[in-house]
């Protein structure tokens, strides 16, 4: 992979931190300064620092701090395209997720009613069988709902367990 990276001239870097909120596992917080230092170390290890022209990250304060520090480092080493205006690119998927989550908050009462209905249905084998019979009679496709994932807006299971 490092050999392949040596053949490219321009790199648009994307980085992300993953957290495990549903598993309730604790992780140590990392400051923007530490993130910037580690990103620079990795870029130097891969010999790509001079090729990176923009970095996409989530909209978190630690990422904002990290990118601000990286921008200073990059500006001191070379001229950034458009005076660095495009160096920090905010992750569109993250922004879209925030918008959808806000929209889901508006319809939360309806979603909660559906969750309660699913919970009621799943708490009885008799009700589940009756539901499956209706689904089959109507020729509908039925499936069990998967676990909630914050970025998968069609999931309801873990939210069902929280309430």
pLDDT tens for 9-63 read: 998 888 776 555 566 555 555 667 888 888 899 999 999 988 998 888 877 777 8
Q: In the chain, where are the structural domains located?
A: 2-90, 108-162
The two tokens of residue 137 are 């009679």
- Output the average pLDDT for the chain: 78
pLDDT band, very low/low/confident/very high, at 98 (cuts 50, 70, 90)? confident
Specify the pTM. 0.53
**Given a cut of 70, is residue 161 above it in pLDDT?**
no
**Given a cut of 60, is residue 78 above it in pLDDT?**
yes
pLDDT tens for 87-97 read: 888 877 777 87
**What pLDDT is attached to residue 126?**
93
- CA 55, CA 57: separation in Å to the nearest integer? 7
DSSP the chain: -HHHHHT-S-EEEE------TTTT-------HHHHHHHHHHHHHHTT-GGGEEEEEE-S-HHHHHHHHHHHHHHHHHSPPGGGGTTTEEE-HHHHHHHHHHHHHHHTHHHHHHHHHHHHHHHT-HHHHHHHHHHHHHHT---------BTTBTT--HHHHHH-
């Amino acid at each position: 992979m490092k050999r392949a990276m040596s053949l490219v001239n321009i790199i648009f870097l994307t980085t992300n931190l993953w957290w495990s909120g549903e598993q309730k596992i604790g992780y140590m917080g990392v400051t923007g300064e530490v993130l910037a230092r580690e990103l620079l170390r990795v870029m130097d290890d891969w010999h790509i620092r001079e090729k990176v022209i923009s970095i996409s990250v989530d909209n978190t304060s630690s990422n904002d701090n990290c990118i601000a520090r990286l921008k200073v480092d990059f500006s001191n080493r070379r001229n950034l395209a458009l005076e660095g205006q495009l160096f920090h690119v905010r992750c569109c998927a993250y922004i879209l997720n925030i918008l959808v989550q806000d929209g889901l908050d508006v319809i939360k009462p309806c979603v909660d009613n559906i969750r309660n209905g699913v919970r009621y249905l799943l708490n009885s084998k008799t009700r589940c069988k009756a539901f499956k019979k209706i689904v089959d009679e109507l020729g509908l496709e039925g499936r069990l709902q998967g676990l909630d994932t914050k970025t998968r807006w069609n999931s309801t299971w873990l939210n069902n367990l929280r309430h």
